Amino acid sequence: MEKSESVQGKDIINQLAVVLRTGHFHTPDNVAVLSAIKRFLELINPVILQDGMLRIDLIGEFFYINENRVRYPLEFLLNFDYLIREFKRRELGSLTFVSQVRQEDMREFLRIFINAAFSTTPFEAMEAALEEIDSIRVERLKHIKEERDVDKRRLVKKTYFNAVSFTRGIMQKLRAGEKVSIKKAKRVIESMVDTLLSEESLLIGMTAIKDYDEYTYHHSVNVSILSIAIGQKIGLHRRALTELGLVALFHDLGKMEIPVEVLNKPTAFTEDEWKLIRRHPYWGARAILKLKGLDKTSILSAIVAFEHHVHYDYTGYPKVRRPLPLDFYSKIVAIADQYDAMTSSRVYSRVPLPPDRALSVMMERAGTQIDPILFKFFVNMVGVYPVGSLVLLDTRELGLVYECNPLFADRPRVMIIVDASGKRLEKGNVVDLTEKDSSGRYLRSIVKTLDPNKYKISLAEYLL
């Protein structure tokens, strides 16, 4: 019962998207439109009959049907994204069917919905026009309140730092030759998966904070978070997400063997030091296999630890004599790893790249060093201007990208740190770049990006 209910949820959302999509391309009397509507009504009317109503809410990036969150599988991803975008475009937050819906009601709704997009006040237009249809109600999209934001941020922060501190504990124990508990590691990853599913952008935002403690600890957690995020984007099941998060967390375990003086060296590495560095995948696989008996997780962790620098085209290290196709998880972790390493300072004595620059470097590597399709998922997730990017807006405001918007890759939420008059803002005000004025033009757009590292401007000050 539980299963069939969730199947229905995703089918309803998908079918609604199908109705709207076909409605966009055809006249309302078109056969394709009519049959899409018919199918939609067949799905919703029985639920309305049973529960008295059917309410679809859009909260954050997720749909809820009668207050149950709808999980969506990969095959519907594009339709879901489309529907979220269309809802947001009309500032539509909830759609309620209060009684049995007739075919002509739905046709009329479709017409109103499509026309609303041309109005400068789409929600009001839709609300007024819908007065005549008894069975359908709409409510405006609620912008998540700042108050709740603070609480959520506190929770995300807690989960994040707990994971870093846990990772530090693991590494220190391993260095000392002590046993570590995989059970606990799993629990830590599970809490990250949970946080990611509900507060994806905030948690990814945490990965932009780099300058504290030893690089390897937060780097491991960041790679784990980014890998889980890719995994969730491609529709992995939650158990697989935990597994992915765990192997990503252990990907650099081999660095324990490299003397700290070398790892944290401020100057360039010597050839011998590079040799040590290049050995960490080998040491990592070894450390994992020594850690515990063989099982699915340890085998996968060892594989990923060994392969994460091999590269998609095998040009990386270690050089392999008889290449077998890289493991799927290795390819995911490699992308997360490269991105985090490139945007971090204190790593291999390189200058950190601004997030958007790192992305364009990686873009050039897509298809050679990194898997091109997985990378596509990755950029669609982090956006053109990833969290932490320093941007100048067309309003002469300077800001830091604070949260990405999965649906509008170049319109993230930005924290303004210098306002249009050139005044420094201590407590940044967050603006959403998808906001429009009454004539339908965007209020703000990004025109330039700067290197935040050059000015030591970091999200840490604002996010923490």
Partner 1 sequence: MVLTDEIKDFIQALIKAKKNLHLYPENNPVYIKTLDDIYSRLTSVLQETDSITLRFKQYDILYDTDVVYHNEEKDESFALFFFKDGVRELTFKKGIPKEEFEEFMQVISSDFERDLVDDDIVTLMWEKDFQFISYVVDDTILVEDENYEDEATEQAKSGAAEDDEVMKAYEEAFGIEKSEGINIVPLTNEDLKSIVEEIENDQPEKSGKLISILFEMLYLADGKAEYEEISEFLKQTVRYAVQNGNLEAVIYCIRRINDAFDKESFSQDLRIYLRGIKYYINSIGFVKKLGEVLDEGVEFTQDIISEFASLLDKSSIPHFISILGDLKNISARKTVISILSELGKKDIQLLARGLNDRRWYVVRNIIYILRQIGDRSAVEFLLRAVRHSDKRVKKEAIRALGEMGDVTAVQTLKDCLDDEDEGVRMATVRAIGYLQTPVSRKILLEQINNKQFKEKSFTEKKEFFEAISRYRDTEVINTLFKILKKRAFFKRAKNEEMKAAAAYALGLMKEKSAVDLLEKLKSSKNRLLRENVQIALKRIRDGKE
Residue 360 engages partner 1 in binding (rule: CB under 8 A): yes
Sheet holding 54-59, edge to edge: 68-69, 62-65, 54-59, 92-97, 136-140
Query: Which residue among 141, 276, 418, 430 contacts partner 1 (CB under 8 A)?
Result: 418
- Taking the complex as a whole, the smallest distance from the CB of residue 333 to partner 1 amounts, in Å, to 14
- Taking the complex as a whole, the smallest distance from the CB of residue 403 to partner 1 amounts, in Å, to 16
Q: Where do we find the tokens 């004595």? A: 349
Residue 275 engages partner 1 in binding (rule: CB under 8 A): no
Query: Which residue among 424, 427, 438, 441 contacts partner 1 (CB under 8 A)?
Result: 424
Work out what residue 37 binds among Fe ion, partner 1, none; the CB cut-off runs from 5 to 8 Å by kind: none
Residue 292 burial (CB count, 10 A): 13
Query: Which residue among 145, 148, 179, 296 contacts partner 1 (CB under 8 A)?
Result: 296
Residue 252 engages Fe ion in binding (rule: CB under 5 A): yes
Work out what residue 132 binds among partner 1, Fe ion, none; the CB cut-off runs from 5 to 8 Å by kind: none
Which 8-state DSSP code applies to residue 305?
Answer: H
Nearest residue (CB) to partner 1, 90 versus 411: 411
Residue 235 engages partner 1 in binding (rule: CB under 8 A): yes
Residue 291 engages partner 1 in binding (rule: CB under 8 A): no
Residue 187 engages partner 1 in binding (rule: CB under 8 A): yes
- Footprint of partner 1 on residues 364-393 (CB under 8 A)? 373-374, 376-377, 379-380, 383-385, 390, 392
Residue 450 engages partner 1 in binding (rule: CB under 8 A): yes
| CB 158, CB 194: distance < 8 Å | no
Sheet holding 398-403, edge to edge: 424-432, 413-418, 398-403, 390-393, 446-450
Nearest residue (CB) to Fe ion, 62 versus 274: 274
| CB 219, CB 341: distance < 8 Å | yes
Residue 225, SS3?
A: helix
Per-residue b or e along 46-82, where b marks 16 or more CB atoms closer than 10 Å to that residue's CB: ebbeeeebbbbbbeeeebbbeeebbebeeebeebbbb
Nearest residue (CB) to partner 1, 36 versus 390: 390
State phi, psi for 319 to the nearest 5 degrees: -70, 130
Name the one range near partner 1 by CB under 8 A: 93-101, 102-110, 336-344, 358-366.
Answer: 358-366
Name the one range near Fe ion by CB under 5 A: 164-172, 335-343, 359-367, 407-415.
Answer: 335-343
Rg (CA), the chain: 24
- Taking the complex as a whole, the smallest distance from the CB of residue 244 to Fe ion amounts, in Å, to 15
Residue 456 engages partner 1 in binding (rule: CB under 8 A): yes
Handedness of CA 110, 112, 117, 123 (dihedral sign): negative
Q: Give the integer Cα–Cα distance in Å for 300 and 333.
A: 12
Query: Which residue among 262, 289, 430, 443 contacts partner 1 (CB under 8 A)?
Result: 289
- Footprint of partner 1 on residues 304-323 (CB under 8 A)? 306-307, 318, 320-322
- Footprint of Fe ion on residues 337-376 (CB under 5 A)? 337
Residue 34 burial (CB count, 10 A): 17
Length of the chain: 464
- Taking the complex as a whole, the smallest distance from the CB of residue 293 to partner 1 amounts, in Å, to 6
Residue 239 engages partner 1 in binding (rule: CB under 8 A): yes
Q: Give the integer Cα–Cα distance in Å for 106 and 130.
A: 11
Work out what residue 184 binds among Fe ion, partner 1, none; the CB cut-off runs from 5 to 8 Å by kind: partner 1
Residue 293 engages partner 1 in binding (rule: CB under 8 A): yes
| CB 96, CB 139: distance < 8 Å | yes
Quote the Cα angle for 335-72-372, to 5°: 25
Instruction: Give the N- to C-terminal CA distance of the chain in Å, as an integer.
Output: 43
| CB 110, CB 130: distance < 8 Å | no
- Footprint of partner 1 on residues 72-111 (CB under 8 A)? 74-75, 77-78
Residue 162 engages partner 1 in binding (rule: CB under 8 A): yes
Nearest residue (CB) to partner 1, 268 versus 299: 299
Nearest residue (CB) to partner 1, 125 versus 407: 407
Residues near Fe ion, by CB under 5 A: 252, 337
